Amino acid sequence: MITLYTLWQDTQTRLWHPVGLLRRVNDRYMFVYTKGAELAAFIPFQGMPDIYSKYESATLFPLFANRVLPKTRPEFKHLARWSGLDVNSHSIELEMLSITAGQRETDNIRLIARPEPSADGFYYLTFFVHGMRYLDEKSLEVLKTLKRGSELSLLFETDNAYDQYAIAVENQDTPPCKLGYVPRYYAQDLRKALHDIDPEKRTVRVKKINHDAPLQLRLMCEIEVCLPKGHAPLVSDEYIPLYKPGVKAQVQPANKPPQKHAATRKKPTEPVPH
């Protein structure tokens, strides 16, 4: 089962906050808000006005469905191939969102997969490297030499004027060559999670290299890290769901656009039995 966090960027601070959790359970989609949605600047999504309710739908909610390239588009198979996805997977929509982050240039919402531990206690984080359009000719030449499995390194930048949490991705040459950045919406929480972890206990490698893809889809990386027992990569309280079991879910009819509602932040006083 794939679980995605919905991230929202505060346009004033430029910081990303988790505000929701999306998953598919028994062929139904479920969405709940998380504690990040209690920030004063956040406005609940259209059709989901109550941040303390649970929302269910037989089809993917329009807010997220509009971020998935339709299968009828000729580019769909290319995007699936560059992302390493099976076009016939029953979870292709959420899988696509987890890799592309549902990115649209016109808004401040992204989606990321919730890292799940493997049987041996390792966490894996997969993403396309950002910022590659700013690479110089030397970096672009290095990019051509990379192969699946090539090991890379992370650099926690301390002097980045644009992002105080910036994490650069470099090759392991001496001196190293910068290849881009970990997506900005991952960086703050990832730095916290890896701050006290021995670099020897994490591995960064090329998961996929797409020489025929646009630059933003050229280099897919995977971070593998073994965290101490009881630790998780996403540690902020903002990831905690606000919905409490026992409150009746709001069901959205299939294929029906959500109606506009006035946003509400009022906490329920008494749970409503099923």
Q: What are the CA-CA distances from residue 274 to residues 4, 27, 48, 245, 249 (Å)? A: 26, 20, 19, 10, 9
Other Cβ atoms less than 10 A from the Cβ of 150: the count is 16
pLDDT score for 267: 52
- Tokens at 2, concatenated: 């794939």
- Give per-residue pLDDT as tens, 196-236: 778 888 899 999 999 999 999 999 999 998 877 767 777 78
The reported pLDDT for the residue numbered 213 is 95
pLDDT of residue 274: 36
pTM value? Answer: 0.83
User: For residue 198, what pLDDT is reported?
Assistant: 80
The residues of the chain scoring below 50 in pLDDT are: 254-255, 258-264, 268-274
Which pLDDT value is given to residue 197? 79
Q: Which residues pair with 27 in a beta bridge?
A: none
Backbone φ, ψ for residue 96 (5° rounding): -65, -45
Nearest to 237 by CA among 189, 200, 172, 177: 189
119, 176 contact by CB (below 8 A) = no
Report DSSP state, residue 218: T
Q: Which CATH number fits domain 118-232: 3.40.50.300, 3.20.20.70, 3.30.420.40, 3.30.70.2330?
A: 3.30.70.2330
The domain spans of the chain are 1-114+234-274, 118-232
Three-state DSSP class for residue 221:
strand
Question: In terms of DSSP H, where are the helices of 40-194?
Answer: 62-65, 75-83, 92-100, 137-145, 184-194
Total count of residues recorded for the chain: 274
